[in-house]
A and B are shown apart, each in its own frame.
Chain A
Amino acid sequence: MYDDGKLTTIFLFLPPALVLFTIFVIWPILNATNFSFYKWSGYGELTNFVGMQNFQRLANHSIFHQSIWNSVKLVLVSLLIQIPLALTMALLIYKKTSVNTAFRLIFFAPYILAEVATGLIWSFIFDGDYGVTAQITQALGIDPIYILADKNYAFLTIITVIIWKYFGYHMMIFIAALQAVPHDLLEAAEIDGASPWRIVWYVKIPLIAHAIKLSAFFAIVGALQVFDIIIPLTNGGPSNSTHSIVSYLYYFGLVQLNVGYGSAVGVVLFLLCIVTAFSYKRFAIDKGGEL
């Protein structure tokens, strides 16, 4: 049985959070799920019930397959390149010195930039006619390069920009965690004659495992939701080859006024995120103890 104080606390503090969560999270999700069974342009009443048709179309659409594959690539790159890079950088500069502070600022700066601004800046850098790339190719006296117009390299470019933008964020999480590693442990390892490499591998990394797991989780969910960098950089092109799931949703759902279809994409994305989040918790976090 709850005592009076506990009940009062629940009745007082639960509703605000619950109401906000319901209005801004649960309600839109239910709404979108409902829309996804209709063919609906966003105008007028929901009348044209089509059952699973939107999901069937989705399953058969080659561009959707490509966008899923692109999002998977982003997840893999985030885990296999971005996080190790961030960790390496963090290990190099986590100690408090003025030089390190300067580096931290430089590496973290891209994260502060708005996504759209980042996209615009990089699209200028890759611009083969007027941008930085143009200046380089001119100086070298070679033919101009249009990397974003090339289907083989456009997505690679997006991946590069995403690593550049977000690795600083993960680095900061690692730096905070590394600074909390007790000094006596590190000293003890040193006295025992452990090499710097062994200290990193057997002391520092195990002690910040919780931060790495958290970071990896953010990286996965973030990779699934990439959108605002893609639009200014490639607009999903060339030939719809660089869409992420979200930019696919935007282009085929909102731009083409197919709100029902777009909602179906949204539902799939939501399920992907939920499944990822729960299986990640189950397999990565629960097994290895508390976060």
Chain B
Amino acid sequence: MKKLLLAAALAMSMSMTSSLAVAETVVKILDHEPTTKEEKEFLLRVAKKYEESNPDIKIKFDFLDDVSYKAKLPTLLQSSERPDAFFTWTGGVFYEQAQTGMLKDITDMMTPAVKARYATIGLDGLSYKGRLYGVPMYASNILIWYNGDLLKQANVDPKAIKTWDDFLNACAALKKAGITPITIGGKDKWPIAFFYGPLALRIAGQDGINAANRGENGGFNNKDFVRVGKEFERLVKLDPFQPGFMDTGFHKSVGLFGDGKGAFLPIAHYVIDMNAKNSTSGKGIGDSLDFIPFPAVTGGKGDPKDTFGGINGWLLTKSAKPETLKFLEYLTNKENQMESARLGLWLPIVKETQANIKDPRVQRVAKLLEEAPHHQLYLDQALGAVVGAAVNDAAAELATKEITPEKAAKRIEEAREIR
């Protein structure tokens, strides 16, 4: 009898849960493991809040570490297990996904009123051939951050650095004072491209980069890109990087900077937290930390106000449930973007949310982004994986003085041709 009762109770509870499940729509979102705990908590908190006001919808976030995320995504998107939406760094990989019909075109699903709240660079970043495929969430902007105390020791005034020549002079002065001018994570290669990429933006301009990417004017093997290599080579000739920089990963390079072992570091605003967390003392260089925009290059075609960095957001897969877009719009509404700005999670991409940013330095970063005529995506994202890797390899080999600027330009063009 006892057994019978138990079985009946089990059956009842099972039928109850299954009837509950039927009434719910589950929106599955796949994300790469966020860099900070706070970021993950924020996403889950917003999801929970959304579920409370929409009891028939369940938001399910899944997180995968960076490498597995990138490796599993192609297979996952082509299977029936695909999520409704997933995190994107935009750029070439996103174009590939859009081209092969993996994504949902939401151009007509998002109302003009909602569209109006995002910064243009955000919507541009999530668009391919004029069609919108996702919702932007944040931007990042690579600038040259410096250690004010070290610059003072070498009598370098950061505010006076306006051109690339000024910057080279500053590096020479630091070197003379026995201070390592720049810490860089050469082992990962892409941090070196934080010099090469912005230089390309200043010298060739965004139009020049796009034209080269289309194969016009000799592709990447033209005099502008040779000059990019040459200007970078001028920096390399000063031996500006910390010893053993090719065995330094990105995280360690930020730690070295936080330990006061180098004066400059090309990086985004997250350096403020990261230089402290990665330093030996756990405190970093504190208020001595500030930044200058990437200097102008004399005779360059790019606007010195153009910015360089990332656009990140969410892409909807072709079979995404209608509720997905509603949730993503909620996740990136003004209130939530203000909250993420207040928490210092990222640079919000919704207009008029900057006021909530606490750190004045980050506020200035946001302002630069807002005023930028163009925002160039990281080259290894914008140009796709093959050409992007060739850019990173070329930058790394220029840094180790293994190839000439001419050969670097040629290598990148070769990669573009076989792409």
Contact = CB atoms under 8 A, between A and B. Distances in A.
B193 to A, nearest CB: 14
A80 B393 CA distance: 34
Interface string B379-395: 00000111011000100
B99 interface: yes
Given A43-B97, A129-B244, A238-B186, 5 more contacts: A43-B77, A129-B261, A149-B246, A256-B385, A256-B388
A254 interface: yes
B78 A43 contact: yes
B386 A149 contact: no
Contacts of B71: 254
B385 A257 contact: yes
Contacts of B418: 57
Contacts of B385: 41, 255-258
A112 B144 CA distance: 44
Nearest to A252: B389
A160 interface: no
A258 B97 CA distance: 14
B393 A240 contact: yes
B165 interface: no
A179 interface: no
B280 to A, nearest CB: 8
Interface of A: 41-45, 57, 123, 126-130, 143-144, 146-149, 151, 234-235, 237-240, 251-252, 254-259
Contact of B386 (A42, A234, A256): A256
Residue among A43, A127, A258 having the largest count of chain B Cβ atoms under 10 Å: A43
B29 interface: no
Contacts, number: 94
A127 B186 CA distance: 14
Nearest to A254: B71
A151 B401 CA distance: 12
Contact of B246 (A41, A45, A237, A255): A237
Contacts of B78: 43
B93 A257 contact: yes
B226 to A, nearest CB: 20
Interface SS of A by simple majority? loop
Interface of B: 70-71, 74-75, 77-78, 93, 96-97, 99-102, 186-189, 242-248, 252, 256, 261, 280, 384-386, 388-389, 393, 396-397, 400, 402, 418
A270 B242 CA distance: 41
B96 A239 contact: no
A43 B79 CA distance: 11
- Most chain A CB neighbours (cut-off 10 Å) among B99, B244, B280, B388: B244
Q: Is the interface of B mostly helix, strand, loop or mixed?
A: helix
Contacts of B101: 44
A128 B187 contact: no
Closest 10 CB pairs of A and B: A146-B244, A44-B100, A149-B247, A42-B74, A149-B246, A238-B246, A148-B247, A257-B385, A43-B100, A256-B385
10 contacts: A45-B100, A128-B244, A144-B244, A148-B244, A148-B246, A149-B245, A235-B187, A235-B188, A238-B247, A257-B93
Contact of B96 (A144, A147, A252, A257): A257
Given A238-B186, A238-B400, A240-B393, A258 B246 contact: no
Contact of B187 (A147, A151, A237, A240): A237
B389 A256 contact: yes
Contacts of A256: 385-386, 388-389
B243 A146 contact: yes
A42 B74 CA distance: 6
B386 A239 contact: no
A143 to B, nearest CB: 8
Contact of B244 (A57, A149, A254, A259): A149
A14 B396 CA distance: 53
A35 B247 CA distance: 35
Nearest to B188: A235
B199 to A, nearest CB: 20
A158 B102 CA distance: 41
B400 A239 contact: yes
A129 B244 CA distance: 9
B99 A239 contact: no
A57 to B, nearest CB: 7
A43 B261 CA distance: 44
B93 A128 contact: no
Contacts of B102: 43-44
A94 to B, nearest CB: 39
Contacts of B70: 255
A258 B386 CA distance: 8
**Residue with the greatest number of chain B CB neighbours at <10 A, chosen from A126, A147, A237:** A237
Nearest to A232: B249
Contacts of B245: 149
A253 B78 CA distance: 19
Contact of B397 (A127, A149, A239): A239
A252 B419 CA distance: 12
A44 B74 CA distance: 9
Contact of A127 (B189, B247, B400): B247
A146 B188 CA distance: 16
